[in-house]
Amino acid sequence: MAAWPKRADQIEPNERKEGAEMQKHTGFSKRFRDWGEEKGLKQCFIAEKLGISAPTITRWRNGANPKHEHLKLLIELSGKDANFWLAPEGAQAVKEE
């Protein structure tokens, strides 16, 4: 018989898993976090302006990439182009003048 999975409060820090449970920050998520902090924007404000949920914003900040239609809205809101948002992690995003 298989054992029940442990609850989050039962998992020791050294047992926490990477991968699907812990998403790695992507180039997009780092730029998204930095942009929001630089502009002083709250997650709920961005979510409202884009017409998406606050949990979606949290997923973006934690490593998920936006859907195409959401990326288009983010480009309009931010004034940054797709190259800025989608450059791979570690790559220099093209600076806009």
Mean pLDDT by 10 residues, the chain (97 residues): 55 49 68 95 95 94 92 95 84 55
pLDDT of residue 86: 87
Residue 32 is predicted with a pLDDT of: 95
Q: Quick one: CA torsion of 66, 68, 73, 75, rounded to 10 degrees?
A: 80
Determine contact, residues 82/58, Cβ cutoff 8 Å.
no
Domains along the chain with CATH numbers = 24-86 (1.10.260.40)
Q: DSSP per residue over 27-80, as a string?
A: HHHHHHHHHHHHHT--HHHHHHHHT--HHHHHHHHTTPPPPHHHHHHHHHHH--
Q: Please name the amino acid found at residue 34.
A: D
